[in-house]
Structure 1
Amino acid sequence: MPLDKPYLDVPGTTIFDAEQSRQGYWLNQFCMSLMKAENRERFKADERAYLDQWAMTEDQKQAVLARDLNRCIQLGGNIYFLAKIGATDGKSFQQMAGSMTGLSEEEYRNMMIQGGRSPDGNRRIGEKK
Structure 2
Amino acid sequence: MALEKPYQDIPGTTIFDADQARKGFHLNQFCMSLMKAPNREKFLLDERAYLDQWPMTEAQKAAVIARDYNEMMSLGGNIYFLAKIFSTDGLSFQFAAATMTGMSQEEYKKMMIEGGRSPEGNLYKESDSNG
How high is the TM-score relative to the length of structure 2?
A: 0.95
- Once residues 41 and 15 of structure 2 are traced to their aligned partners in structure 1, the CA distance between those partners, rounded to angstroms, is 32
Task: Give the RMSD, CA atoms, in angstroms.
Answer: 0.8
Aligned amino acid, residue 51 of structure 2: L
User: 1:122 offset after TM fit, Å?
Assistant: 1.8
User: 1:106 offset after TM fit, Å?
Assistant: 0.7
Which has the larger displacement, 116-125 or 30-39?
A: 116-125
2:108 matches 1:108: yes
- Once residues 81 and 121 of structure 1 are traced to their aligned partners in structure 2, the CA distance between those partners, rounded to angstroms, is 30
- Once residues 28 and 22 of structure 2 are traced to their aligned partners in structure 1, the CA distance between those partners, rounded to angstroms, is 10
Q: Report the secondary structure of 1:76's partner residue.
A: coil
Which has the larger displacement, 63-72 or 115-124?
A: 115-124
Map of 2:47 onto structure 1: 47
User: 1:80 offset after TM fit, Å?
Assistant: 0.3
2:66 matches 1:66: yes
Which has the larger displacement, 116-125 or 87-96?
A: 116-125
Aligned amino acid, residue 96 of structure 2: M
CA offset digits 1:10-46 (Å, max 9, x no partner): 1111110000000000000000000000000000000
- Unpaired segments of 5 or more residues in structure 2? none
Q: Report the secondary structure of 1:3's partner residue.
A: coil
CA offset digits 1:69-114 (Å, max 9, x no partner): 0000000000000000000000000000000001111110001001
- Once residues 17 and 9 of structure 2 are traced to their aligned partners in structure 1, the CA distance between those partners, rounded to angstroms, is 14
Matches within 5 A, 1:80-95: 80-95=80-95
- Once residues 67 and 51 of structure 2 are traced to their aligned partners in structure 1, the CA distance between those partners, rounded to angstroms, is 13
How high is the TM-score relative to the length of structure 1?
A: 0.97
- Once residues 121 and 48 of structure 1 are traced to their aligned partners in structure 2, the CA distance between those partners, rounded to angstroms, is 40
Aligned amino acid, residue 109 of structure 1: K
- Calculate percent identity across the aligned residue pairs: 68
